Amino acid sequence: MTGSSARLTFLGTGTSQGVPIIGCGCEVCRSTDPRDKRFRASALVEYGGLTILVDAGPDFRMQMLAQGISHLDAILLTHNHKDHTGGLDDVRSLNYVDRRAAEIYCERNVLEDLIREYPYVFKFPKYPGAPEWMLHVIDERPFILRKDTSDKELVWVHDVGYHYRLPDGRLIPTARSLDDMISIADSGSLNGTPLSPPRGCRGVDTDPLTGGTLVTPIRGLHGKLPVLGFRFGDIAYITDMSSIPESEFPKLEGLKHLTLNTVSYHPHHSHFSLDETLALAARIKPRHTWLTHLSHSFPTHEEFAAELERLRQERGIESTVAPAYDGLAIE
């Protein structure tokens, strides 16, 4: 990917239970249309020469296999719920193939939950077989991603765990402490150099001072829980939100694609309803609005797509509005 171009592939577009739901015999859960088979919400973004995953839920392994993915430059976590973090143990396969630690970007509260949920990852000396992570703490300020061009290689040492092999052949531990595993990403500067302001984030994907790829988080609330969405060039991916602060709307100007979680026809305590999603599409005015985190309470994909087009025309919404589905790619 070059310039401000980004490509997003929906790896999962379902709720925390996925679709079909265990034990349910509704029309949607019995549908034979593959667009009605929904993994937990996740997305793959190809942007600025990087391959980026947003959220790694319990379906992570199957999502990677379905799309033939064998390399990730970064994993961005929107929040700490299990349907968005429950697959992180499976990055061990990528550790082996890529010979690199998994670079994971998340907020401080998410990091603290990961330490509780995956204690063996943070145990020292390292537990043999545990996945190898490098954690970066972020917040709602823009931050820089870079491709790892270091010449150290992650290698497995029997009965010890992963070490880095240097060009001269020496082996060094990947980390000796929890602090070694955590990089505090000061989103306002990088090595003492201020980042370019987001400038409404129109087409900004490369910071001229650092040569890295700029990602703009979008703050929102999931009920009362602060969570993040992310903007990559002219694509914004938002999931598991029920409200967006007024201060964040400038980050959503000039979008080509906007993805919004939409869980129900009715008001929900922690997700956008259909009416709220349509109101956001009308206000933000992207060229295209895609609905994700869809539940089986909506009709089948084909019926729902027709309903959304009818509602869009009735309400005079300029943006196209359609349900996303697993495997759909937009750019």
Task: Read off the pLDDT of residues 281-294 as tens digits, 9 standing for 90 and up.
Answer: 999 999 999 999 99
User: Could you tell me the pTM of the whole model?
Assistant: 0.90
Structure confidence at residue 176 as a pLDDT band (50, 70, 90): confident
> Domain residue spans in the chain?
6-188+203-324
**CA distances, 172 to each of 29, 52, 102, 209 (Å):** 51, 27, 17, 32
> What is the CA angle 218-292-112, rounded to 5?
50
- Give me the percent of the chain exceeding a pLDDT of 90: 74
Tell me which residue has tokens 């954690």: 135
CATH top-level class of 6-188+203-324? alpha beta
Pairing of strands 213-222, 225-232: antiparallel
In this predicted structure, the answer to whether residue 226 has a pLDDT above a threshold of 80 is yes
